[in-house]
Amino acid sequence: NRIGALKPDLAGITVNIISARAGVQLATTLKRLDPALAICLGGPFVTDKSGPLLKKYGMDFAVYGEGEVTFSELCSGKPPAGIGGLVYFDGTGITVNPPRPLLEDINTLPLPAYDLLPPLGLYRCRSRGTPVGPVFTSRGCPFHCTYCTSVVFGKKFRAHSPDYIMKNILHLTKNHGIRQLDILDDHFTLDMDRAEETLDRIIHADLKLHLNFQNGIRTEKLTPAFVRKMKKAGTFKVNIGIESGSVEILGKVKKNLDLQNIIDAIRMFRAEGIITVGLFILGLPFDTEDTIRETIDFAIKADPTMTSFALYMPFPGTEMHDYLRQNGLLTGENELGFDSGFYTNRLYHINPNLSSERTITLQKQALRAFNLRTGKIIETLGTIRTFEELKWTIRASADLARSTGFFH
């Protein structure tokens, strides 16, 4: 109805591997309402091979890679043939333009137009203060994990300066009233000088914000002094991407990780009263029952406050996805990706070492083994400080139990 009232010339739809089907359905609905409306897809699901998708579903454009400049040029009326990073269907054929180079200096970007987004009060996460402001302070991941996608931001690490970050934070607090900052970087701690200066600036501003490192942080460079600074800046929760407790599996998926360093980092966070969430992936293509049990045992030994035991999902554009496809081991994938997310009772690949059914059983065992220990439920409940946190915990626990069959 809103699109009908606005009568725009162009509609942009962001899609990922989970939302691609819904995005295409939205696009076809909009086209049915207004055949003259141009449709442009963007986001991590879109690649330079998205042309057949445009042709099949009657869409016009797809932006692959970083989209700010590409989409801006498209909106300004620049001829599609001259726009890097664009795939387009002109009614007769598909054209794939060369990729656009990554932005060298991301500080040249304007602040996100938060005023054009739905109200930040609708953003849902574990929160100690609302509204919550989600931000990226850097882009790119220089590591080579075979299961992880860098389709949009690439491998080169590029960071916003502390000046830019504070400008964004002050904008969010002054104009949107945020009380919590969710930092979504892949690697906030890759450049420790920048990370320390950013925390110092947040502390000096005395904004009384709560900080949540929702997307996880690397722990190699952490020190007790840095963790204390995180706490002083308002950090109440960090996620840590561990993936596996098996050294063998970590090596096979090119995850450069020292498991003892993880244990030490969790102890540092515990000493400061910061919630830790250990993120694990079960059912990686080389997993066996023994390696999954190693992961369960490591989770219990490391003892983060909470854990996530997600089933592996093969993201297009990753080395692991290519390996599975080349060896005929992908199942259930189609041109629109997958129909469900991480917390499901389904795997989308064949593992010669372990059946899907057994992997799902082990996931349930992992959840029970970690969460039903004496005192763990009490500890988890003891981390709740606000009514919003309580609501989130109840909702997240119910969703997890329902999607994984925790009680069955």
Query: Is residue 272 in some structural domain?
Result: yes
CATH number of the domain to which 83 belongs: 3.40.50.2300
Which residues lie across from 138 on neighbouring strands? 159
User: What's the pLDDT at 293?
Assistant: 98
User: What's the pLDDT at 344?
Assistant: 61
CATH number of the domain to which 291 belongs: 3.80.30.20
Query: Is residue 148 in some structural domain?
Result: yes
Do 90 and 126 fall into the same domain?
A: no
Do 91 and 125 fall into the same domain?
A: no
User: What's the pLDDT at 147?
Assistant: 93
In this structure, are residues 283 and 351 in contact, taking their beta carbons and an 8 Å threshold? yes
d(C-alpha 7, C-alpha 297), whole Å: 57
In this structure, the number of other CB atoms found within 10 A of the CB of residue 390 comes to 12
User: What's the pLDDT at 405?
Assistant: 65
User: What's the pLDDT at 354?
Assistant: 96
User: What's the pLDDT at 404?
Assistant: 61
Do 220 and 305 fall into the same domain?
A: yes
Which residues lie across from 275 on neighbouring strands? 237
Do 79 and 224 fall into the same domain?
A: no
SS (H, E, C) the chain: CHHHHHCCCEEEEECCCCCHHHHHHHHHHHHHHCCCCEEEEECCCCCCCCHHHHHHHCCCEEECCCCHHHHHHHHCCCCHHHCCCEEEECCCCEEECCCCCCCCCHHHCCCCCHHHCCCHHHCCCCCCCCCEEEECCEECCCCCCCCCCCCCCCCCCEECCHHHHHHHHHHHHHHHCCCEEEECCCCCCCCHHHHHHHHHHHHHHCCCCEEEECCCCCCCCCCHHHHHHHHHCCEEEEEEEEECCCHHHHHHCCCCCCHHHHHHHHHHHHHCCCEEEEEEEECCCCCCHHHHHHHHHHHHHHCCCEEEEEECCCCCCCHHHHHHHHCCCECCCECCECCCCCCCCCCCECCCCCCHHHHHHHHHHHHHHHHCCCCHHHHHHHCCCCHHHHHHHHHHHHHHHHHHCCCC
User: Which residue among 74, 96, 118 closes a domain?
Assistant: 96
Query: Is residue 116 in some structural domain?
Result: yes
Do 116 and 179 fall into the same domain?
A: yes
Do 148 and 181 fall into the same domain?
A: yes
User: What's the pLDDT at 341?
Assistant: 55
Query: Is residue 101 in some structural domain?
Result: no
User: What's the pLDDT at 3?
Assistant: 78
Query: Is residue 222 in some structural domain?
Result: yes
| Tally of structural domains, the chain | 2
C-alpha closest to that of 74 among 95, 55, 60, 59: 60
Do 39 and 117 fall into the same domain?
A: no
Do 298 and 382 fall into the same domain?
A: yes
Do 115 and 89 fall into the same domain?
A: no
Do 268 and 364 fall into the same domain?
A: yes
User: What's the pLDDT at 62?
Assistant: 95
Query: Is residue 390 in some structural domain?
Result: yes
Do 137 and 169 fall into the same domain?
A: yes
User: Which residue among 45, 64, 96 closes a domain?
Assistant: 96
User: What's the pLDDT at 4?
Assistant: 76
User: Which residue among 96, 129, 147 closes a domain?
Assistant: 96
Query: Is residue 387 in some structural domain?
Result: yes
Query: Is residue 381 in some structural domain?
Result: yes
Do 306 and 280 fall into the same domain?
A: yes
Q: Which domain holds residue 13?
A: 2-96
Which residues in the chain land under pLDDT 50?
none
